[in-house]
Every structure is written in C-alpha cells, then in structure tokens.
Amino acid sequence: MTTTRGLEGVVATTSSISSIVNDVLTYRGYNIDDLAENASFEEVIYLLWNDKLPNKQELDQFSAKLAEDAVIPEEIINQIKSYPSDKVSPMAALRTAVSTLALYDEEADDMSEEANYRKAIRLQAKIPTVVTTFSRIREGKEPISPKKDLSFAANFLFTLNGEMPEEVAVTAINKALVLHADHELNASTFTGRVCVATLSDIYSGVTSAIGALKGPLHGGANERVMKMLSEIGSVENVDSYLHQAFEKKEKIMGFGHRVYKTGDPRAKHLKEMSRKLTELTGETKWYEMSTKMEQIVRDEKGLPPNVDFYSASVYHSLGIDHDLFTPLFAVSRVSGWIAHILEQYSNNRLIRPRAEYVGATNQSYVSVENR
C-alpha cells in the first residue's frame, strides 16, 4: 500500500465538469478566459449543471427562477438575528444557516433527480442572501429582500449595501463569481462528494463543503492577503516586508498553487479588475503594492500569484468587509459543489479510502489496577 500525504497527485474519480490541463482551466470544455470575458454567472451555473450553455429562453427562465428563489425564510432571518454577531464568523453563520435551510424545504429528503435539481436552484439562489443578511444584521441594519429584475451579481451587491450598484461593481462581482465557480477536485468539492456518496442529501453535502472552505488553507487566503497588504501599508514598504519574510521563511499569502506550475490562469483577470477599481476609488496603492509584490516574489522565489492574490484588492475596493471574502467565495463555488454533487449522485459509489497504520502493535490488555 502506497501512502500519499494530502492525496497529492492521486486521481480519485472521473468528472466532466472542469479540468486543469497544462495550467489551463476549463468548465465543460470552455476555457476560463473565454467565460470570464464573455459569460454571465447565470450562464456558467447553467453550464456546470447541464453540460451546455443555455439558449436565450433557457437563460431567461433559469435566471428568473434564481431571482425568485433568492428570498430566505423569515425563520432563517430570525435565527441569524439570534447569533452572537460580535463573536460569530461569517463562515460559521453561513454553515449553520445553510444546514437550517433544509428544515424549511419540503423536498429536503427527496432524492429524485428532479427534486435535487430544484433544491440546487434554491440553494444557489439563497446562499448570497444568507451572506448579505448576516452582514447587515451584525451592522444593526435590517436585511433587504432581493429584486427579481436584477442579475445574480447585482442582487448580491444590492442586498449587501441597500443601494443600486454601479455597473463596474456588478461587472467585477460577476467576473469574480465566474472565476471561482469550480476548480476540479479541490478540498471543499471533495468533501461535498464524500458526504453525498453516502447518499446523504444535497443540503448536507453543501454544508460539509462550506465547513471545508472555512479552513484558512482553502478559502481564507484572500482575506489574509488583504491583511498582509494592510500591514505593508505603502509601496515603499513592500521590498523590506518581503525580504524580512523571506529571511524568516514565512509563507507569502496569494502565491503558488499545488496544481498550477506556471501560473493561475484566473489571476490575470482579477489583476486587471483590481487596476480598474483602485483607479476608480482613488486608492491605487493596493494595486501598486500588489504588482510590486508579484514582481519580487516571481523573480526571487519563482512563484506566480494565484486567484486569491488580486481578488483581495478587488473585494476591498468594492467596500466588502474582509471577513466576507470567503463567504463570497462560497456564493460562487456552491455552483461547482452542486455540479459535483449531482454528478456523484448520477454514478455513485461510496468513497472509502484506506489508511496505512503506523501505530503500536502487539499490545495486550492490562487491568486498570495494574496500569
């Protein structure tokens, strides 16, 4: 039996959802560059779940259903109001609320293909509202109901801030959602698939995935990037900060990737959006610090930035609280989780790997009086 730490390089299943080959990311065979520049997030969700891009009628119907199902039950709002908001992290709140949503879904335990698809739409639609509702409640504000005539990205910003968003902000959020939608068999996706491979329900699968994303080695990287940029403070401090970190052998957040060797193809899209947004807000220092860091880390350590690095300054420039970065990641990635959950259901086999035992052997029981 061969042991591989972290299952690195282990092929655990076959999938037709997304691929990473020669540092090129595709969804259902579509290059991420093509989708990031041209597609709405609604189109990408439909693509991931249906293995094709929707026609106009299909897209209109799908988008309308997402908007219609975006309202969350009053019971969930009241539950969120009961959270100790000064102590609860947004990811813990999201995990708990998504699990509770199942209690208010009459089809929660209906495992038919049709019911699972309907639940998929409800989950995708409601998760951003859960995030924005928590954000507003902890600020002492009343939650805002989504508008049926707004896009997915626009509704997120509207229910977060309570005002109609500018087009550049909607474009930025839509692009970020597209770029984060799926990423092959990452930690949270694998967690979700392991869960539903037992034939547990879709709510349990998504809740499990959220739990995995909550960990700082997976979903929290962009929040830590923004913390690092805030500590650096100015372009003039970048060089000394990095070289001190190099000397201490500290990890520089937002660089390198276990799968990509020559660079994360998603990073360049967020880099350009960071440039535009920081110019718009008049805080170009975030972009300037980031580009200088990229140059130094690439030149001296051979590490290119990953998707988390520039998404930090993008979200900051949009006025999004730093601890909401990972929940926003979940708002997007739930589309991929669900695609993988539906795929797992369609050709299921219980996921049950083995472990190599390295503990003590030949032990004999000794009565408690003689220990």
Tens of pLDDT, residue by residue over 131-155, are: 999 999 999 999 999 999 999 999 9
Both 102 and 226 in one domain: the answer is no
CATH number at residue 283: 1.10.230.10
Is 334 a domain residue? yes
Is 39 a domain residue? yes
Provide the residue range defining the domain that includes 237.
Answer: 221-317
Both 69 and 98 in one domain: the answer is yes
| Token couple for 210 | 């959220």
Both 208 and 272 in one domain: the answer is no
Both 330 and 299 in one domain: the answer is no
Higher pLDDT residue, 215 or 291?
291
Both 100 and 176 in one domain: the answer is yes
What pLDDT, on the 0 to 100 scale, is given for residue 4? Answer: 78
Q: Is the separation of the CB atoms in 213 and 91 below 8 Å?
A: yes
Is 360 a domain residue? no
What pLDDT, on the 0 to 100 scale, is given for residue 220? Answer: 82
* Residue 25, strand partner residues: 20
Both 23 and 160 in one domain: the answer is yes
What pLDDT, on the 0 to 100 scale, is given for residue 266? Answer: 93
Q: Considering its fold, how many domains does the chain have in total?
A: 2
Whether 23 shows a pLDDT value over 90: the answer reads: no
Both 49 and 191 in one domain: the answer is yes
Q: What is the chain's mean pLDDT, rounded? A: 94
Of the pLDDT bands very low, low, confident and very high (cuts 50, 70, 90), residue 257 is confident
Q: Decide: helix, strand or coil at residue 45.
A: helix
Higher pLDDT residue, 82 or 261?
82
What pLDDT, on the 0 to 100 scale, is given for residue 72? Answer: 97
Whether 363 shows a pLDDT value over 70: the answer reads: yes
Distance CA 212, CA 253 (A): 19
CATH number at residue 54: 1.10.580.10
Whether 216 shows a pLDDT value over 90: the answer reads: no
Please write the tens of the pLDDT for every residue from 91-102: 999 999 999 999
Whether 81 shows a pLDDT value over 80: the answer reads: yes
| Token couple for 172 | 């930025």
Is 152 a domain residue? yes
Distance CA 91, CA 93 (A): 5
What pLDDT, on the 0 to 100 scale, is given for residue 221? Answer: 84
Please write the tens of the pLDDT for every residue from 25-52: 999 999 999 999 999 999 999 999 999 9
Q: Is the separation of the CB atoms in 133 and 72 below 8 Å?
A: yes
Q: Is the separation of the CB atoms in 283 and 312 below 8 Å?
A: no
Both 182 and 306 in one domain: the answer is no
What pLDDT, on the 0 to 100 scale, is given for residue 323? Answer: 94
Q: Residue 299 half-sphere exposure, CB side, CA atoms within 13 Å?
A: 9
Both 66 and 97 in one domain: the answer is yes
Please write the tens of the pLDDT for every residue from 282-324: 999 999 999 999 999 999 999 999 888 999 999 999 999 999 9
Closest-CA residue to 150 (of 161, 139, 158): 158
What pLDDT, on the 0 to 100 scale, is given for residue 1? Answer: 67
What pLDDT, on the 0 to 100 scale, is given for residue 10? Answer: 81
Is 352 a domain residue? no
Average pLDDT over residues 342-371: 95
Please write the tens of the pLDDT for every residue from 261-280: 778 899 999 999 999 999 99
Which are the catalytic amino acids?
257, 308
Q: Is the separation of the CB atoms in 129 and 146 below 8 Å?
A: yes
Both 158 and 295 in one domain: the answer is no
Distance CA 333, CA 188 (A): 9
Distance CA 261, CA 23 (A): 7
Asked which of 317, 336, 365 is the last residue of a domain, the reply is 317
Is 188 a domain residue? yes
Which residue shows structure tokens 């990205």?
153
Is 121 a domain residue? yes
Distance CA 28, CA 65 (A): 23
Closest-CA residue to 23 (of 34, 14, 32): 32
What pLDDT, on the 0 to 100 scale, is given for residue 228? Answer: 95
Both 44 and 61 in one domain: the answer is yes
Distance CA 66, CA 356 (A): 45
By residue count, the chain amounts to 371
Is 351 a domain residue? no
Closest-CA residue to 343 (of 42, 116, 104): 116
Give 64's contacts (C-beta < 8 A, 6+ positions apart): 148
What pLDDT, on the 0 to 100 scale, is given for residue 142? Answer: 96
Average pLDDT over residues 157-180: 96
Both 139 and 125 in one domain: the answer is yes
| Percent residues over pLDDT 90 in the chain | 88
Burial of 311 (0-12, 13-18, 19+ CB in 10 A): buried
Distance CA 271, CA 330 (A): 21
DSSP assignment of 203-252, as one string? Answer: HHHHHHHHHHHTSTTTT-HHHHHHHHHHHH-SGGGHHHHHHHHHHTT---
Whether 8 shows a pLDDT value over 80: the answer reads: no
